[in-house]
Structure 1
């Protein structure tokens, strides 16, 4: 987790059920406030939304602060499942809804936001982010399975203390996982580059090979033939041109890469994210 970015605010968004251990407030009061008192450049904040409206209002506030130059670690303390986050009033924020809100924050921060999902199955956020769209975060951290509230408090206390002590993300993630590495680690980390690789590999396998490629061509032909100019060319010529265009896969890759990593909005991101077509495609079995 070599961030290359100095994160200068930790936002905790906590929405738990009555009677739950308030792990977010505990992290804020016992860990983050003392760290911020010895680090004047670090801002910390906590919001406790009670329903969908206040949840998304909190995210809009985060977006506004990003537009003013803050680079946040955005930490969610909620219950979770494969379908999404559960708020204190039992309303569900589906993962795709959270993804859409995070994309707006990502754009506001120039892709300088780390998401921490301290919720059971929190890493399932990745499942709805593996598509070739805007990157919703620089990186995401979360558990794959169920975690207990006392484990969350202990593990993330270790994570934040190590991160702001050493400013080394790898050491912080190791502390979060209690020194466990490999597949047995309780918490997982995925960068935006890793996310893009997953998304592009899935796209390549379903749309650039075999039957998937042929179906894609025919779909594009069908759409093109709705245009009178294309219709005048004839279906054979339209199909030939589409095949010719699809043969230039590297150009398509570059367009998707620019959009995903916000290079069309922030050209300097080309230096931050130097991933190439061969980096992804060469290791794949033919």
Structure 2
């Protein structure tokens, strides 16, 4: 059964990706035990599974298994990572590195297979570095990321993380649970990232200079991609129909970024500016 969370996302399970050395795996095990208890005792409880990953090869197998389950409609997980992190990525128990960009590529496949419903929680140092993979020019690797931006200790985040999940699964409001418990984490929304970019673009075409800049940038981009026979028509359309071109570009970008989902419209942008 899928459970609805705020910001229009649905999930069906929690997968704990345990990348800690065997001598340090107590935190992942305790979290798994807590989630199993919550699954049995609360209406919002979700089945939890701890997946031990020691090498890149094992990680690849786990990620592919999750992708296939999502594609088959059998799962939409929250992915919770327990690992040692650094500014460049995560560390496997055998000493290998998983770079943030490589992790993002794997998560993008899961986010696509789950129709942009992937929530990622990182109990790792520098976990928010994963957000550096967000780009308006490519599909989002996650819907929501909850992660520390600096070095953190187990003692500082273990209990707050347990309380976060307890509130999340009982109240189904991820932002409320985050605000209440995860003071050392950042909350990063792909929708928020997308909105900030397109709000700036929408404000830009509200001025004469901005409209001209938008036309020129769109024209440059478009003329590189259309056949020679269509260039004259494209130039005329962009020059005289800026609002229409803006909406078309917005919708195309939205379909790319959100893996085909359409969480908002140009009218929503207007409402944000006026609100």
- Whether the TM-score (by the shorter chain) exceeds 0.5 is yes
CA 1:154–1:201: 2 relative to 1, 3 Å: same
CA 1:202–1:59: 2 relative to 1, 3 Å: farther
Are positions 1:2 and 2:16 aligned together?
A: no
Partner of 1:85: 90
Deviation at 1:85, TM superposition (A): 1.7
Contact 2:11-2:76 within 8 A present in 1 as well: yes
Choose which of 189, 195, 198 in structure 2 pairs with 1:197: 195
Describe the SS at the equivalent of 1:244. Answer: helix
Choose which of 55, 58, 66 in structure 1 pairs with 2:59: 55
Describe the SS at the equivalent of 2:11. Answer: coil
Are positions 1:94 and 2:89 aligned together?
A: no
Q: Distance in 1 between matches of 2:14 and 2:175?
A: 18
Contact 1:21-1:149 within 8 A present in 2 as well: no
Contact 1:131-1:200 within 8 A present in 2 as well: no
Choose which of 182, 185, 188 in structure 2 pairs with 1:187: 185
Q: Distance in 1 between matches of 2:270 and 2:257?
A: 15
Contact 2:199-2:269 within 8 A present in 1 as well: no
Give matches, 1:7-156, under 5 Å. 7-17=11-21, 19-20=23-24, 22-29=26-33, 31-39=34-42, 42-66=46-70, 67-156=72-161
Deviation at 1:203, TM superposition (A): 8.0
Structure 2 regions of 5+ residues with no counterpart? 205-209
Number of positions where the alignment pairs a residue of Structure 1 with one of Structure 2 = 260
Q: Distance in 2 between matches of 1:164 and 1:186?
A: 20
Deviation at 1:281, TM superposition (A): 11
Q: Distance in 2 between matches of 1:134 and 1:18?
A: 35
Deviation at 1:10, TM superposition (A): 0.6
Partner of 2:207: none
CA 1:165–1:87: 2 relative to 1, 3 Å: same
Contact 1:120-1:147 within 8 A present in 2 as well: yes
Q: Distance in 2 between matches of 1:210 and 1:23?
A: 55
Choose which of 264, 269, 274 in structure 2 pairs with 1:279: 269
Structure 1 regions of 5+ residues with no counterpart? 178-184, 264-268
Deviation at 1:27, TM superposition (A): 0.8
- For residues 231-257 of structure 1, give each alpha carbon's deviation from its aligned partner in whole angstroms, at most 9, with x where no partner exists: x78x9x589458539942221111111
Q: Distance in 1 between matches of 2:249 and 2:213?
A: 19
CA 1:62–1:220: 2 relative to 1, 3 Å: same
Choose which of 232, 239, 242 in structure 2 pairs with 1:244: 239
Deviation at 1:219, TM superposition (A): 6.5
Partner of 1:182: none
Q: Distance in 2 between matches of 1:110 and 1:14?
A: 25
Describe the SS at the equivalent of 1:171. Answer: helix
CA 1:121–1:210: 2 relative to 1, 3 Å: farther
- Give the structure-1-normalised TM-score: 0.76
- For residues 139-173 of structure 1, give each alpha carbon's deviation from its aligned partner in whole angstroms, at most 9, with x where no partner exists: 11111111101222111111111111222323311
Are positions 1:254 and 2:251 aligned together?
A: yes
Q: Distance in 2 between matches of 1:277 and 1:84?
A: 39
Partner of 1:181: none
- Kindly report the root-mean-square deviation, in angstroms, between the aligned alpha carbons of the 2 structures: 3.3
